[in-house]
Each structure stands twice: as C-alpha cells, then as structure tokens.
Amino acid sequence: MTPIPLDEATLEDARQFNRKLARLPRFRVRNRVTPRLLQALLRLSQLGANRKLARAGIRIETDFAAAADGVRVPLRILRPAGAVRGVVLEIHGGGWVIGNARMDDGLNAAMVHACHVAVVSVDYRLATQAPLQGQLDDCLAAARWLLEGGLAGCEHLPVIVVGESAGAHLAAATLLRLRDEPALLRRVHGAVLYYGVYDLAGTPSVHQADADTLVLDGPGIPAGLRLLTPDLDDAARRRPPLSPLYGELEGLPPALLLAGALDPLRDDTTGMANRWRAVADVELHLLPEAPHGFIRFPTAMARLAQARVHGWIRERLNRVPAIGGARRNVAGGQEQDRWGQSRRV
C-alpha cells in the first residue's frame, strides 16, 4: 500500500478546519421538503458550470442510458482535450436525496487532467423521485451502457468505478449486480470508494455516533437509513445488494477505499475492505482527523488523498493487459492476470 503522507502540519490543518465544521449544522434527512429546497439551491449554484469546464479545456457531452423500467438516465460526460487512456464511471453522493452529476465537476475535472480519462457521471433519480430500487437500477443501466460500448471512441478502454458516500453504496451495489454479467464486469479494472454506506441497517460506528459528529447528524443516521426502505426490517435491509457489505464479492476488481477516522460510517469502509481483500487487492486509508466528506474540504489532507486516488487510477490503467488475455513474462516465470497482478507460473 502506498501511504498518504500526513505530517503534523497536515493534521493540524485538518483540526483547524474541523473546528469550523463544528459550528455548522449537521446534515440530516427528516422529510422530503428540505432535500427539494437544497436541490434547488444546488442547481442555482451551478449556473455557468459548463463555461468553467470549457475554459479548462474539457469537452462536455450528454447521453442517456435506458433503465429496465423505460426510464432514460442522464449521463454527463467529460473528456480531455488529448488522448483518453480509460473511462471512469462516477456516481455522486448526497445521501440519496440531493445531488447531481454537475456537483462533482471539480473533482471529475481534476481526474480528467491527472489521469487522462473520460468521466461518465450518472444523474440517477433521487429518493424524492423514486424508491431506492430505482436508483440502483439507474446506476446499473449506466454501467451497462458504458460497458457495452456506449461511449464512442472508448469502447475497448478499461473502466474504473468511482463513488462517494451514497454514491459509493450505489457503486458497490452495481458491481455486485454485474457479477451476473461477467463479460461486462471484466471491463472494470478498479473501484475507488469514498466513505460509503454498505450496511443499510447501520454498522456499530453508525449506532454509536453522537451529537458531536461532524458534517452528519450522528444520532439521526439510523433513522435516515430506515427512511430509504420504510417497508423493510433490518434483516431485509442487510440483504445484498441493498447492503453490499454482506454480498458475494468473488470476481470484483481491485479497490481503493478511503474513510475518515471521525466519520460515523468508518466501520462500513473497514468492514468492506476486510471482506474485499479475500477476493482482490484492496488499498485502505482510514485518515486521522478526517470527517465524512473530507475529500471536498479545502485542506492539505484532501489534496493529498486526491493525489493518491489519481496515482492509484494511473497505476491500474498502466497494468491493464493487452486485449485477449493475460500478459506473460516467461523469462521471469510470471504472468499477470486481468487485473495486472503477478503470479508464478
């Protein structure tokens, strides 16, 4: 594992920002009115987003994937000016109730430039518009569209799946569902998941969260999760793919998982990493002094974490074997499997 270099100055910078966060309201879902208001404010703040990307030399496209129920799922596509080495399927966060593909333009543009990838961001329906199953189906439809060659000029390029928070949950659930379509799953060469929710009934750290939790309203998280699936009991909520932590992971690609030590969802990430390691290479970073959502904050830690993500994606793309099978190094007595991992022969 490549460590993220965190010196005392970086940690103190994070602590200072956390003191500002402690004075702000925590995110909590109590009804459907507040998310709709927040969504409207989000869209208002995004006016002029396309012009910013164009000035940065990024080409913007829009396409649609067809979900099983006939819904057309909007896809926001960012391409670099030069050659494309791979494609990122990105699923945004927002607690399943707010957010859209444009909200990640900054992070996605940085990924486009640093990794020379195209990014396909999924504008899935929110919980105010459709039940959780609809969001799962939208993300699966987007994945199928991409993996079946829907993005012109990128039909044979390797794919990396990226998700944040609720988006990490949807990304992990999508990968589990793709196990039923191994030919498509083979095109996925890695997954980057930021502080996801992998147990919809709540891991121990979720149930232990108190009112001092930063960003999220700690005591309100279990109730918020129950609102997603009001007709289910906890046993049903824990069935995969609703709760990816309990799914069969065989066949999934290597993964990079990140979470903060101050995040009440940290047990979700550490538990998922421990299970995932049984089937593929996993790099886990549990960052000290980091709350939920830390990748978006103006801190040195966020910049270092983002740099590691970019490096990891580049490493995965460098290891992609030639089309048609494993790369062999006969002189060295090794071959590389489809993930680029060496084994003796």
Question: 77 φ, ψ to 5°?
Answer: -115, 125
pLDDT at 329 exceeding the cut of 70: no
For all residues of the chain together, what is the average pLDDT? 91
What pLDDT is attached to residue 30? 63
Q: Which residue has the tokens 């830390």?
A: 294
DSSP calls for 251-281 = TPPPEEEEEETT-TTHHHHHHHHHHHTTTS-
Residue 299 has pLDDT above 90, yes or no: yes
Residue 332 has pLDDT above 60, yes or no: no
* CB-based contact 78:119 (threshold 8 Å): yes
pLDDT of residue 339: 53
Using the predicted structure, report yes or no on whether residue 116 has a pLDDT greater than 90.
yes
Weakest mean pLDDT among 8-12, 268-272, 330-334: 330-334
Alpha-carbon distance of 289 to 259, in angstroms, equals: 11
186-217 pLDDT, tens digit each = 999 999 999 999 999 999 999 999 999 999 99
Query: What is the predicted pLDDT for the residue at 47?
Result: 78
Q: How far is CA 187 from the centre of its chain?
A: 17
Which residues are CB-contacts of 16 (< 8 A; sequence separation ≥ 6)? none
- The pLDDT value recorded for residue 27 is 84
Instruction: Return the pLDDT at 328.
Output: 35
pLDDT of residue 341 exceeding 70: no
Task: Reply yes or no on whether the pLDDT at 335 is more than 60.
Answer: no
pLDDT, residue 49, reads: 79
Instruction: Indicate whether 68 pLDDT > 70.
Output: yes
CB 125, CB 138: distance < 8 Å: yes
292-312: b (≥16 Cβ within 10 Å) or e: bbbbbbebbbbebbbebbbeb
What local confidence, expressed as pLDDT, does residue 344 receive?
34
Task: With CA atoms as reference, report the closest residue to 76 among 100, 52, 46.
Answer: 100
Selection from 20-34, 117-131, 309-323 with the highest mean pLDDT: 117-131
- Those residues with Cβ within 8 angstroms of residue 251's Cβ, 6 or more apart along the chain or in another chain: 179, 182, 185, 279
The arithmetic mean of pLDDT across residues 64-91, rounded, is 94
Q: What angle do CA 342, 344, 345 make, to 5 degrees?
A: 120
Does the pLDDT of residue 163 top 80, yes or no? yes
Residue scoring higher pLDDT (302 or 55): 302
Q: For the segment 16-64, what is each residue's pLDDT rounded down to a tens digit?
A: 999 999 999 988 766 666 777 777 777 777 777 788 888 889 999 999 9
Lowest mean pLDDT among 131-135, 236-240, 332-336: 332-336
Q: What is the mean pLDDT of residues 157-185?
A: 98
Half-sphere exposure for 109 (CA within 13 Å, toward CB): 17
